[in-house]
Structure 1
Amino acid sequence: MKRPRPAPSLRLQLSLWLLLPLMGLLAFDAWLTYERAMSAAHIAFDRTLEASLRAMREGISLREGRLDVDVPNLALELFDDQAGPHIYYRIRDEDGATVTGYDDLPMPAEAPLRLYRTVFYDTVFREQPLRMAAQPLPVHDVGSAHTRLVWVLVGETIEPRQLVARDILIGSLLQELMLVTLALGIVWLGVRRGLRPLNRLSDTVARRGTQLDPIEQKDLPAEMKPLVQALNQYMDRLHGMVQARKRFFADAAHQLKTPLAIIQAQSELALRERDGERVREHMRLLHGTVRHASKGVQQLLSLSRLEPDAGYVPTLRPLRLDTLAQGVALDWAPVARGSDVDLGFEQEGPVAVAGQAELLQELTGNLIDNAIRYAGRGAVVTVRVALDGGVPRLQVIDNGPGIAPAERDAVFGRFYRGERGQAVDGTGLGLSIVREISRLHGATVVLGDTPGGGLTVSVCFDAPEAGTAG
């Protein structure tokens, strides 16, 4: 069985993110320190090179047109403590001929412009890196007043310089490693102390149990406030969902309590009857009650799914509102005929909206159902779809008793049926569902009077975007 990976430690991650850049900075500083040490070593050792070159210069003379060279011991003893035998020199005349020393010891790439001026340069001689000093100087023959130009070159291997630079680097690295170690300890303690508010927040959330009240943001660091705000928003949404579930259970209990009691009473009466016809009458009433309860449960489930706290987001696609409404009207035509209601459909050209077909069908069906139930027998109900002033509009118009203006806001509440609705078989949820479906589509529901008497329910959608087609 594969073991679960341990949870990553925020403290360890913060420490690593600080340690890795510090190590990179330490490496970069080590390179800079070594370069500075080599530069300092060059300055110090170049003085020795120049002193040796001057000592050698004292041993050069011109006699009867011939160069004599006597390299003094002092010129070589200057290097005994540093380089031992790794010393190279060369004295050459102005024609390039070597008077003494190593013939292939390289000259500087750029010759100095002034006499007696020493030029220092790096080169490789016999596969060894050398630090060289070169100086041009005139040599005078006192007897003949003749003067010749002579080059004096002295070089040494750079091991002594590297040793000095390495010693400086090691000392600097030890000091910096000690400082980095202390800095990491301080950072570790700082991170540990800085994470205390997060630990306190974790303990606070753990102790809350099932409470969904907002977390207090008092005395919180500024960096943690966005996290706490996000937690509070999440708990607010969760609280809304919990309240929605509680409302659903309360509504279900309210809606089913009476039908279940009636079903029980009617079934008991049916069981007591011996007359088949009376049993059939009780079963017919029982069937009506069950159908009423079933419709109420379906509407409750639909309303619970659509309300804002449920977080439901419909999939809106371009569709023809007139075609959809006409199809729903045809489906309800048999119900209208059975209730002696004249159900008609009108449209003024094609009307396109962005919506979810199933929800708009449910909306239209609830409006037609309410109109058939409350308009009464012999009423005329018209489903109308039009584009009024560029605004798509779905209307269900009846010539029934209508709704008093004082009740038009209340009828959108759950289970509200008004005084006239008490005599009609219904649940009082139809307009609540219509309002929620309209909200999800960005539409508004308006209740108005029908000319000549009755109720007109208008659902106004947003104007369609250019190019939307059905």
Structure 2
Amino acid sequence: MKVPSLRLQLSLWLLLPLLALLALDAWMTYHRAMDAAHEAFDRTLEASLKSMREGIRLHEGRFAIDVPYLALEIFESEDGSSIYYAIRDEHGATLTGYDDLPMPAVQKQALYKTVFHDAHFRGQPIRMAAQPLPVRDTPSGQTRLVWVLVGETIEPRQMLAREILMGSLQQEMVLVTLALGIVWLGVRRGLRPLHRLSATVAARDADDLAPLEQKDLPAEIEPLVEAINQYVARMHRMLLARKRFFADAAHQLKTPLAIMQAQSELALRERDGDRIRPHLRPLHDTVRQAARGVQQLLSLSRLEPDSGYAPALQPLRLDALAKSVALDLAPVARAGGVDLGFEAPAPVYAMGQAELLQELTGNLVENAIRHTGRDASVTVRVCANAGEPLLQVVDNGPGIAASEREKVFERFYRCDGNQVQEGSGLGLPIVQEIARTHGATVMLEETPGGGLTVSVRFRAPAAEGHGDKTASR
């Protein structure tokens, strides 16, 4: 489903509230117009009452009423309204006029004070004016109270109110139309930076990952451009990581493949099986080294910070995992003349991904076996330090100079004076990346008495398990 344009959405969001406000204003305008019409027509009613009052006389206790025609002529109009009147004594008896014309609800009013009220008469709404007044009998001095009532149907008032309302609505509709036009043009002008931004992005080359300019931008668009630049920066880092991976792969595989080709050519020239064997042994070792290098390159590519890989961490026995790796590498240690041991005073639990932690531990142990030399010792130690799981690989080999301990985490870096030909220089970078994905830290320290101690400190798990204490050597 196609989403409407931003201009159309803004126009609709403005139009609907404006129409609601217009309806409310029409209702209020009509009531104000009716009040104004009542005020104007009520003056006419009151003038009629005064004219009728002049025709009321009291003589010898009897009323003589002469309703002047002028009093009713005031109400004559071409709108077809109806006029009703009545004059009643203090007892409510009708002296003249309509008997059923309603009286005001409150009849205790000050003399000569006109009371206006709305009522219904013969099925029609009418506007009533009532006034109590005293009539004095001159010969006898007697005074009696009479009520003068005049009523008019409200068609003229409603007509006047509707005329006022229609005039007001016409004016307001013109204003609403102009307001929408102004908003439409304003939104169009306000969206120009977005159109320019869209045109700028569309005009770029496919390989242009430079950040977008953020100057002279409205405040509402700056977060969008910032988010685009951050996304482009992540894409740029991912592409650089891929390029670095391919460059590392080419660098790592070029030498083993060249050796394999040379050894295979030498082996093909030999006809005696016993003479072929010396060529096949290095070929086999080179193939194994190349396979290991490929595996390490794939691990580094997967663990790149911008690769998006996030391992699912679960509680596991760190001591059992490290012990399993040490047992798997025991034959390699014996073949190299290295005494490999394991220490775990008690079960240690950590949050981690088993396959990655096995690779981390294996890289540390293999590095220690490869670089310590014959008749050396390597110890894998797992313990809890201040509640935090700690994995250590301790050796008594030549160690690493303090000035090079940061550099060994760089890819393909080899320490000065390193006589070991095997190894790709990727083991410790992989260890550092795996530790990063687990929120752990890697530290290189000198072993007391000589050698190197590699410590991997993990975060304390939410709940630690308890088990039987184990120790082996």
TM-score, normalization: structure 1?
A: 0.92
Aligned pairs (5 A) from 1:36-435? 36-81=32-77, 83-84=79-80, 86-111=82-107, 113-209=109-205, 210-278=207-275, 282-435=279-432
Q: 1:114 to 1:423 in 2, by over 3 A?
A: same
Gap change, CA 1:110 and 1:355, over 3 Å in 2: farther
Superposition deviation, residue 140 in structure 1: 2.0
* Cα distance between partner residues in 2 of 1:198 and 1:294: 52
Report the residue type matching 1:199 in the other structure.
H
What is the identity, as a one-letter code, of the residue corresponding to 1:256? L
Does structure 2 conserve the Cα–Cα contact (< 8 Å) formed by 1:53 and 1:75? Answer: yes
Deviation at 1:365, TM superposition (A): 1.6
1:218 to partner: Cα distance: 1.5
Compute the displacement of 1:468 (Å).
4.7
Please, what is the CA RMSD of the aligned residues? 2.3
Give the C-alpha shift of residue 379 in structure 1. 2.5
8 Å CA contact retained: 2:22, 2:172: yes
Which residue pairs with 2:469 in the alignment?
A: none
In 2, Cα distance between equivalents of 1:263 and 1:118: 122
Q: List structure 1 segments (4+ residues) > 6 angstroms apart after TM superposition.
A: none
Q: Deviations over 1:298-343 (max 9, x none)?
A: 1111112212222333333343322332233233334333433322
Distance 1:247 1:263 in 2: 24
Q: Percent of pairs identical after alignment?
A: 71
Do the aligned partners of 1:318 and 1:469 also contact (CA within 8 Å) in 2?
no
Asked if structure 1 preserves the Cα contact closer than 8 Å seen for 2:101 and 2:121, the reply is yes
SS of the residue aligned with 1:308? coil
Equivalent residues of 2:376, 2:396 under 8 A apart: yes
Q: Is the 8 A contact 1:341 1:380 kept in 2?
A: yes
> Distance between the aligned counterparts of 1:61 and 1:171, measured in 2?
48
Deviations 1:209-249 (A, max 9, x none): 22111211121122211111111111111111111111111
Deviations 1:6-65 (A, max 9, x none): 343112222222222222222222222222211111110111111122222222233333
| Structure 2 runs not aligned, ≥5 long | 467-473
- Given that 2:313 and 2:353 are in contact with CA atoms closer than 8 Å, whether structure 1 keeps it comes out as yes
Post-superposition CA distance 1:408-440 (Å, at most 9, x none): 111111011224545242111110011112222
TM-superposition CA deviations, 1:115-173 (whole Å, max 9, x none): 11111112222332221111111222223322222222222121111111111111111
**1:31 aligned counterpart, secondary structure:** helix
Q: Is the 8 A contact 2:81 2:154 kept in 1?
A: no
- Measured in 2, the distance between the counterparts of 1:252 and 1:216 equals 36
Gaps of 5+ in 1: none
Tell me: CA distance 1:375–1:114, structure 2 relative to 1, closer, same or farther (3 Å).
Answer: same
Residue type at the aligned position of 1:159: E
**Worse-superposed segment, 258-267 or 197-206:** 258-267
Q: In structure 1, what residue type is equivalent to 2:169?
A: L
Q: Distance in 2 between matches of 1:370 and 1:343?
A: 12
Query: Structure 2 vs 1, CA of residues 109 and 83 (structure 1 numbering), >3 Å: closer, same or farther?
Result: farther
1:103 aligned counterpart, secondary structure: coil
8 A Cα contact 1:342 1:381, kept in partner: yes
Provide the rounded CA distance (Å) in 2 between the counterparts of 1:190 and 1:321: 64
What code does the residue aligned with 1:441 have? H
Structure 2 equivalent of residue 34 of structure 1 = 30
- Give the Cα separation in 2 of the matches to 1:95 and 1:463: 100
SS class of match (1:310): coil
Query: What is the alpha-carbon distance in structure 2 between the residues aligned to residue 90 and residue 348 of structure 1?
Result: 115
Change in 2 beyond 3 A, CA 1:322/1:80: same
The amino acid of 1:247's aligned partner reads R
Deviation digits for residues 156-213 of structure 1 (CA, Å, limit 9, x no counterpart): 1211111111111111111222222222222222211111111111111122222111
Q: Distance in 1 between matches of 2:268 and 2:404?
A: 43
Is the contact made by 1:445 and 1:460 (CA closer than 8 Å) also made in structure 2?
Answer: yes
TM-score by length of 2: 0.91
